[in-house]
């Protein structure tokens, strides 16, 4: 008997067996339940993935916000240049050790 014949036999015989044998019907339902994902389990996994994506998106946003910082590191910035830098929202540091808030460094 090949697979096609087995499938045909199942298609014709399983409906009859399900009607005649409540025990078999119960066993088959239980078997299918164990093989599939429940709606609750799926929803839980889906919600967890969406929360992880939202957290990742927030981390990426923070990363880009940090990358948009404009900084100058120089011990030679005079007072007039500092005024201009402040107007342009450029942070001025005299030494690289003074720079804070850079991730990965």
DSSP label at residue 68: T
**What pLDDT is stored for residue 48 in this prediction?**
95
Tens digits of residue pLDDT in 57-93: 999 988 887 777 888 999 999 999 999 999 999 999 9
Q: What number of other Cβ atoms are within 10 A of residue 65's Cβ?
A: 9
Domain ranges of the chain: 69-98
């Amino acid at each position: 008997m090949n697979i096609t014949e087995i499938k045909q036999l199942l298609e014709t015989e399983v409906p009859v067996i399900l009607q005649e044998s409540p025990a078999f019907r119960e066993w088959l339902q239980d078997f299918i339940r164990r093989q599939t994902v429940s709606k609750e389990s799926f929803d839980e996994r889906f919600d967890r993935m969406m929360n992880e994506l939202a957290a990742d998106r927030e981390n990426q946003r923070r990363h880009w916000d940090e990358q948009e910082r404009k900084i100058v590191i120089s011990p030679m910035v005079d007072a007039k240049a500092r005024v201009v830098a402040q107007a342009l929202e450029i942070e001025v540091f005299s030494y690289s050790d003074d720079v804070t808030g850079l991730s990965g460094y």
